[in-house]
Amino acid sequence: MNRRENIRNIAIIAHVDHGKTTLVDQLLRQSGIFRSNEHVEERAMDSNDLERERGITILAKNTAVQYKDVKINILDTPGHADFGGEVERIMKMVDGVLLVVDAYEGCMPQTRFVLKKALEQNLTPIVVVNKIDREFARPEEVVDEVLELFIELDANDDQLEFPVIYASAINGTASTTPDKQGENMQPLFDAIVEHIPAPVDNRNEPLQFQVALLDYNEYVGRIGIGRIFRGSMKVGQQVALMKLDGTVKSFRVTKMFGFFGLKRVEIEEAYAGDLVAVSGMEDINVGETVCPIDHQEALPPLRIDEPTLQMTFLVNNSPFAGREGKYVTARKIEERLMEQLQTDVSLRVESTDSPDAWIVSGRGELHLSILIENMRREGYELQVSKPEVIIKEIDGVKCEPVERVQIDIPEEHTGAVIESLGSRKGEMLDMINNGNGQVRLIFMVPARGLIGYTTEFMTLTKGYGILNHTFDSYQPMQPGRVGGRRQGVLVSMETGTATPYGIGQVEDRGTIFVEPGTEIYEGMIVGEHTRENDLAVNITKVKHATNVRSATKDQTTVLKKPRILSLEEALEYLNEDEYCEVTPESIRLRKKILNKNEREKLERKKKYSDTRS
């Protein structure tokens, strides 16, 4: 069997923040792809602003480096489970993976998640123990942990013989032993060329190209990125696109791009084993096969992760609507959601009875909050409802998504965390005491029990805890209420500007969310109540001046620092009767019904109908 020895296709997989994007940077730098005077950003592969700020990879990226006479195609994958759909499809495009593991943290939930996907595809692994220069690095134990994980995930004998490279991506060095680092990344390059199989060369057979990722460009429309599994493809060639619904469309390949460094390079022809981007088809989708018109043979479709969480997106109708955003109409919001569907295959958008509302389903809170954050940065104004898990009926039984949760905490917080997850219907699977004052807990928790849990967890562990979770499976639904917010809120009964005097008057009733000088409207949530019921307050009050000199005149009011919620915190905080209003400049929480009397009327009606039933 002939192989294309001058090509290797690999994916880099790892848990969030174990350094895979930094590793790709070094491979790019050391392969001499950049000119010596060319300025290269840190984490060059993270092109999106949000990726840079959060230090996470959201979209899969491809690049290629040249080492000696071998072209190495590298796919950098997201490590976060919300973007697992991307990871799974990338595994189909490559022949091997670099599994990057932190030399101190070892195997984490997403390490397990991404490795499982790679082993299922029968890919050849190379293990890279990264951050070898970290204090308390424990490379030998980490390699043992990785081996245990391979065995647990039913790796075959060949996969268990994985080579190990010890690296410090930040310093750009690697070696085959943990004690001494080499001068550069050469040991890693050599391991890739030696261990990762070269693609089979069957360019003389009929073409098969499968789309694994989508891109969109205003000039050429949709671009399908994928691998040629068989045959060859030329610009100008007439081909058949085998759609997922069984129909076949013919089209002409108008442009084709290969990858080199961070650039896309136009090419005329590509062969089996090449990763290419193709334009010329308007409605190409992930998993569809391109083949010759006279030899139509589709590859098996790719499995796309189903959404597990949904929320309603609405046109902003608050009293401050239209003040800060550029795009505020239903038409604009719908166009933007449809555009997102062009490239995000794990997203679903459904219309509702109202022309101003859509149900948007995604893989998790992070997946949806990143879409919302991108929209607000682009100038959109909208409102969103509380995120809810998607309930499925499996064999006549109502089932809900359950997450596998891994927690690393200082020993003294163990009791509090176990108790808090127990109240959210969590089931403890394992408890490992590392002996250094740190405990690792493994739980299975219904996904709805984790909505809004992060804030409580951070308070319980005084900020020292690390919480990671990945979707595990759908299981029969637990009865009763799981998780959710216990506290009521402080709701403004006036429209105006928050004053230090007004805030000072209600400070002892709870935690305030706004600063003095913030514009407030009736029905807006301005804080959290210390009790379980909602309380209407007026924080726009002004102190009336009198002509009597006050004995305490010179004392200024000292207010507690308000708790300003980020977008994720605000989404987690919501209750069923509330919306989060998102504009380019503000994030506000509000009641769905702004007027206090109308809210109370509805509450009374609800109580009455509950007692009747």
List binding-site positions for GTP.
Answer: 17-22, 130-133
488, 490, 509, 535 from 600: Cα distances, Å: 14, 15, 20, 11
Q: Is 324 within 8 Å of 584 (Cβ atoms)?
A: yes
Residues 6+ apart with CB under 8 A from 41: none
What DSSP designation does 549 have? P
C-alpha to C-alpha distance for 496 and 505, rounded to whole angstroms: 16
Residues 6+ apart with CB under 8 A from 502: 538, 539, 540, 541, 542
Using alpha carbons, select from 392, 388, 412 the residue that is nearest to residue 400: 392
Pair of tokens at residue 447: 């996904």
Residues 6+ apart with CB under 8 A from 86: 59, 60, 77, 78, 213
β-strands 7-14, 70-76: how paired? parallel
Helices (H), 305-413: 330-343, 365-377
C-alpha to C-alpha distance for 470 and 402, rounded to whole angstroms: 9
Using alpha carbons, select from 213, 209, 192 the residue that is nearest to residue 60: 213
Q: Is 25 within 8 Å of 37 (Cβ atoms)?
A: no
Residue 369's CB: how many other CB atoms inside 10 A? 24
Helices 330-343 & 365-377, crossing angle to 10 degrees?
130
Q: Provide the sign of the torsion angle of the four alpha carbons 588, 590, 592, 595, taken in this order.
A: negative
Pair of tokens at residue 175: 């070696």
Task: Output the known binding site.
Answer: 17-22, 130-133
Q: H or E element: which one contains 359?
A: strand 357-362
Q: Is 80 within 8 Å of 366 (Cβ atoms)?
A: yes
Using alpha carbons, select from 153, 144, 141 the residue that is nearest to residue 109: 153
